[in-house]
């Protein structure tokens, strides 16, 4: 088991959040420090520390996270566009040791990011 972190506490419902989507594989909720009008985090319930720790067995789960992002983007009216971000490790901007996807939208997102 990985170290306890805020996402594990959210999954176990010991920290309350506004849930946007939940199913047996993942949970999606509003980011507490939004970087865009729409900023939703999509996290797997399976403990995976970073993107670099994915295994071939996680392919279906990662595909599911992307399909959930597509569903949420449609529900949020992001037909003009949105961005999906996966940060990996500290130098890549990852601050919580649990893989997660950022869904950002609701404004023009410039390039390059960060």
- Sign of the alpha-carbon dihedral angle for 68, 69, 71, 72: positive
Residue in 39, 51, 98, 100 annotated catalytic: 100
Q: How far apart are CA 78 and CA 114, in angstroms?
A: 21
Annotated active-site residue 102? The verdict is no
Strands 82-85 and 101-105: antiparallel
The set of catalytic residues is 100
């Amino acid at each position: 088991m990985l170290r306890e972190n805020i996402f594990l506490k959210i999954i176990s419902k010991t920290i309350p959040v506004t849930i946007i989507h939940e199913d047996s594989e993942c949970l999606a909720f509003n980011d507490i420090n939004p970087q865009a009008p729409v900023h939703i985090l999509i996290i797997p319930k399976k403990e995976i520390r970073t993107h670099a720790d994915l295994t071939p067995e996680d392919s279906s789960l990662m595909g599911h996270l992307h399909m959930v992002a597509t569903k949420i983007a449609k529900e949020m009216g992001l037909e003009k566009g949105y961005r999906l971000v996966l940060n990996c490790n500290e130098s890549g901007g990852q601050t919580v040791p649990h893989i997660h996807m950022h869904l950002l939208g609701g404004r023009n997102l410039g390039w390059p990011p960060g």
